[in-house]
């Protein structure tokens, strides 16, 4: 299995530009999570989906952030417009159907975003 795939691995952009991060979960997994990791704030859950439906987006910091999951094999996290404080590593994770809350999350390699 290829694992969770994220692209791009690195993104450098200028303030005000739109940024789109992509994630392909493990085939057969029905839950998908977006996290942000920074030195100051640690690992934060931004949003998660069950069966392509957003369940909890309370971690999305502002309206500049949006996420979609048009099908079971693809999700995007968009930041528009981007700001320097959005610089972080963004992780995507997925879980397979099972005992809710007890599922192991499988993480992608992350996208390192730098906003200048």
Partner 1 sequence: AQSVAQPEDQVNVAEGNPLTVKCTYSVSGNPYLFWYVQYPNRGLQFLLKYITGDNLVKGSYGFEAEFNKSQTSFHLKKPSALVSDSALYFCAVSPGSSASKIIFGSGTRLSIRP
Interface residues toward partner 1, by CB under 8 A: 4, 31, 33, 42-43, 45, 48, 50, 55-56, 91, 93, 95, 99-110
Nearer to partner 1, 58 or 71 (CB): 58
CB-side neighbour CA atoms (13 Å) of 42: 1
In the bound complex, what is the minimum distance in angstroms from residue 18's beta carbon to partner 1? 24
In the bound complex, what is the minimum distance in angstroms from residue 103's beta carbon to partner 1? 7
Contact 25, 52 (CB under 8 A): no
In the bound complex, what is the minimum distance in angstroms from residue 60's beta carbon to partner 1? 13
Nearer to partner 1, 7 or 81 (CB): 7
Contact 83, 27 (CB under 8 A): no
In the bound complex, what is the minimum distance in angstroms from residue 51's beta carbon to partner 1? 11
Structure tokens belonging to residue 30:
């029905």
Query: Ramachandran region of residue 11, left (φ > 0), alpha (ψ -120 to 50) or beta?
Result: beta
Residues in the chain: 116
Nearer to partner 1, 71 or 104 (CB): 104
């Amino acid at each position: 299995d290829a694992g969770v795939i994220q692209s791009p691995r690195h993104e450098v952009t200028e303030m005000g530009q739109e940024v789109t991060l992509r994630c392909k979960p493990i085939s057969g997994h029905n839950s998908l999570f977006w996290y942000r990791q920074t030195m100051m704030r640690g690992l934060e859950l931004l949003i998660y989906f069950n069966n392509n439906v957003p369940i909890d987006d309370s971690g999305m910091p502002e309206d500049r952030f949006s996420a979609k999951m048009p099908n079971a094999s693809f999700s995007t996290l968009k930041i528009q417009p981007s700001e320097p404080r959005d610089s972080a590593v963004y992780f995507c994770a997925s879980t397979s159907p099972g005992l809710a809350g007890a599922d192991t999350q499988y993480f992608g390699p992350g996208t390192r975003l730098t906003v200048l």
